[in-house]
Amino acid sequence: AQKITQTQPGMFVQEKEAVTLDCTYDTSDPSYGLFWYKQPSSGEMIFLIYQGSYDQQNATEGRYSLNFQKARKSANLVISASQLGDSAMYFCAMREGRGAQKLVFGQGTRLTINP
Amino acid sequence: ETGVTQTPRHLVMGMTNKKSLKCEQHLGHNAMYWYKQSAKKPLELMFVYNFKEQTENNSVPSRFSPECPNSSHLFLHLHTLQPEDSALYLCASSQGGESWDEQFFGPGTRLTVL
């Protein structure tokens, strides 16, 4: 079974609109961390935001916020006021258990921002 | 130099060649990683080094041989590769230990095996 599922292969959004990228995960470990990364065409993976399984509040970093719904096992990324530079691949990833270093990635979503 | 650097950025090699990929991190981290990113597949973890000790080998074929001489440098030695090994190889580093720190990635090496 896939640990991380991103159901949207591609999304097209108008500039300045908000966009939500979906991510669901599967784990039986009560302690885990969820990450979102952005990969522009240059190839480098850029860390965006992190949510811990015990965090009480949803994580926010500037225009990025994470809509964490633990019971549903979902960790959707919300980008507010999208910009042309947001066009990229976006990956959701999970680490299970404290001390673990293995990151499991989803298939990714290609986001295209239209002017 | 800052962050994580990788050389070369592009590599074309034949199946009988031997080559090495190099990764260097300037972040003072203790853990380093190799990932493989093939077209239309999720990023796959290959190896993890924590304080220079290999802690994860994700069933990688022996034609890929990692080396971590110190916490700042990581190599991936390649020999007798197959065309299906063509991919983007990404190196990453993190603080290591038990912290929930994010991994910082390099720009990757685009490998083509003929």
Structure confidence by residue, pLDDT tens digits, B33-71: 999 999 878 899 999 998 888 888 888 999 999 999 999
Shortest CB distance from A33 goes to which of B88, B100, B104? B100
Own/partner contacts of A51-54, CB < 8 Å, gap of 24 or more, are: A51/A75, A52/B100
In this prediction, residue B98 carries a pLDDT of 62
Q: Is the pLDDT of residue A89 over 70?
A: yes
Between positions 20 and 39 of A, the ones with CB within 8 A of B are 33, 35, 37
Please write the tens of the pLDDT for every residue from A34-83. 999 999 988 889 999 999 999 989 999 999 999 999 999 999 999 999 99
**8 Å CB contact of A101 and B43:** no
In this prediction, residue A31 carries a pLDDT of 87
Q: Is the pLDDT of residue B1 over 60?
A: no
Please give the average per-residue pLDDT across B73-82, as a whole number.
Answer: 95
Pair A87, A19: CB distance under 8 Å:
no
Between positions 38 and 77 of A, the ones with CB within 8 A of B are 42-47, 50, 52
Pair B62, B8: CB distance under 8 Å:
no
Q: Which residues of A touch B40 (CB under 8 A)?
A: 107
Name the 3-class secondary structure at A101. coil
Q: How many CB pairs under 8 A join A and B?
A: 60
Shortest CB distance from A101 goes to which of B41, B48, B106? B48
Q: Is the pLDDT of residue B74 over 70?
A: yes
**What percent of chain A is predicted at pLDDT more than 90?**
82
Shortest CB distance from A44 goes to which of B40, B55, B108? B108
A100: confidence class by pLDDT, cuts 50, 70, 90 = low
Q: Measure CA B100 to chain center.
A: 21
B102: confidence class by pLDDT, cuts 50, 70, 90 = confident
Q: Which residues of B touch A52 (CB under 8 A)?
A: 100
